[in-house]
Structure 1
Amino acid sequence: MEPTRIVHCDDALVWLRQTPPLEGCSLIASMPDISEFPQYTLPQWKEWFQSTAELVMSKTPDDGVAIFFQSDIKVEGTWVDKAYIVQKAAEKVGLELLWHKIFCRAPAGMITFGRPAYSHMLCFSKNVRVDVSKSTPDVIPDLGEKTWERGMGFEASLLASKFILKQTNSKTVVHPFCGEGSMMAVANFVGLNAVGIERSPKRAERARLLQVAPDGKSFLQEG
């Protein structure tokens, strides 16, 4: 049977609050940073970010995982470490960190401004534990192809999908803030069902159509 994909055009927080714990699923989130909340001060956004991470984790079943893909930001002359905030959320909810990987956004030694040269990917669970014989690299030199600036990238999506497929019992990936659907397209490609939540009607429609190209290494936009 072909894997399924459903994209809800909705506010991800509203959808999550109205949804019971997602049995048989693992969750993946790449939550928006302060640039999308002009009405928030930095402390207000940090509070929103942590509470949203807690909500995502609270909907993750004990035998599933919650994976976060996040890039740090530099704001008002300070460095905002999103991995630290997500780990604070995990401690509060009671999930353990299984792994923490770094994806390079720019070559080593290159100076970047506004956004650091790497992104974090962190994986948490209540009961899943890592099979060390199936370990994967901790530092990945390239995110892979992205369909838009804030996309996860093909390689990042593939690593997360393969981990869920091989080391959990989850059959479905739930992706709040799914954007243009790169994570869901790759999840379907490896055989997992996918559910996305995206507020933008334009991005939600793209998320319904995005496919992995025949080469298995890039994206193919249909429609």
Structure 2
Amino acid sequence: MENKNPERIVECGDAIEWLKAHDKFEGASVVASMPDISEFTNTTLAQWKEWFTTTAALIMSRCPDDGVAVFYQSDIKYEGVWVDKAYLVQKAAESVGMEQLWHKVVCRVPAGIATFGKPSYSHILCFSKNVRLHDMSRSTPDVIGDLGDKTWVRGMGLENCLMITKFIATHTNSTRVVHPFCGEGSILAAANKNGLNALGIERSPKRVEKARTLQISDDKKWIL
């Protein structure tokens, strides 16, 4: 039955501590986009990689077996080294016994244009313990050329948010999306747009307020 009045809850706090205090989210799927080393101080690359894989595994461990865990991550170029976050997320998935269902590439700029600070694309990866995709007729593009409208420069993009949450709504039995590190709430708004309840965790009070009110217009624009 379609949920015409999906709820949204946004809690202000540390996402890792919040996750540690909760068991698996029954009836839910999980979406995450975790911070990179630029948001840490006095942290080596090795320490950040360990934090990243450990946190990804923690997030996945809270996803029920019949749900999916979706990660949106952009690689970084750090002190002359390319850091592949897709690889780090895949390592975490193996450690908790999840299989990868799909891996999409999102073009941040048009093909053929050189970028310097960050690679020109981002990853969207989906994992599950029990969900399997046998009907290939329901496949969607693996390379996404348009992010859609964004709430801020590093945002996922409206089209990606709607794609992720629509996948959860149509390919799982989940009725809720849980989003640690929810930022300004783009995934939460997209989940509600697709009839799913949404729960976000964010440590910034300013972002929490935005995440509680962000909406999507019928012509696919953010209503801030």
Does 2:178 align with 1:185? no
- Note the alpha carbon deviations across 1:35-84, whole angstroms, 9 max, x for none: 00122100000000000000000000000000000000000101000000
Alignment of 1:124-203 (within 5 A): 124-130=127-133, 131-203=135-207
What letter corresponds to residue 31 of structure 1 in structure 2? M
Query: How far apart are 1:100 and its partner, in Å?
Result: 0.1
Does 2:33 align with 1:20? no
Query: How far apart are 1:114 and its partner, in Å?
Result: 1.3
Query: How far apart are 1:214 and its partner, in Å?
Result: 2.7
Question: For 1:80 and 1:165, how far apart are their aligned partners in 2?
Answer: 32
Query: How far apart are 1:218 and its partner, in Å?
Result: 1.5
TM-score normalised to the size of structure 1?
Answer: 0.97
Question: For 2:54 and 2:45, how far apart are their aligned partners in 1?
Answer: 14
Alignment of 1:39-118 (within 5 A): 39-118=42-121
Question: For 2:167 and 2:173, how far apart are their aligned partners in 1?
Answer: 11
Corresponding residue for residue 41 of structure 2: 38
Query: How far apart are 1:113 and its partner, in Å?
Result: 1.0
Question: For 1:133 and 1:187, how far apart are their aligned partners in 2?
Answer: 24
State the percentage of identical aligned residues: 66
- Secondary structure at 2:206's aligned position in 1? helix
Corresponding residue for residue 214 of structure 1: 218
Query: How far apart are 1:192 and its partner, in Å?
Result: 0.5
Does 2:123 align with 1:120? yes
Which segments of 5 or more consecutive residues in structure 2 lack a partner in the other structure?
A: none
- Note the alpha carbon deviations across 1:125-171, whole angstroms, 9 max, x for none: 00000132211000000111110122211011011011000000000
TM-score normalised to the size of structure 2?
Answer: 0.97
Corresponding residue for residue 5 of structure 1: 8
What letter corresponds to residue 136 of structure 1 in structure 2? T
- Secondary structure at 2:55's aligned position in 1? helix
Which segments of 5 or more consecutive residues in structure 1 lack a partner in the other structure?
A: none
What letter corresponds to residue 94 of structure 1 in structure 2? G
Question: For 2:191 and 2:221, how far apart are their aligned partners in 1?
Answer: 13
Q: How many residues are paired up?
A: 220
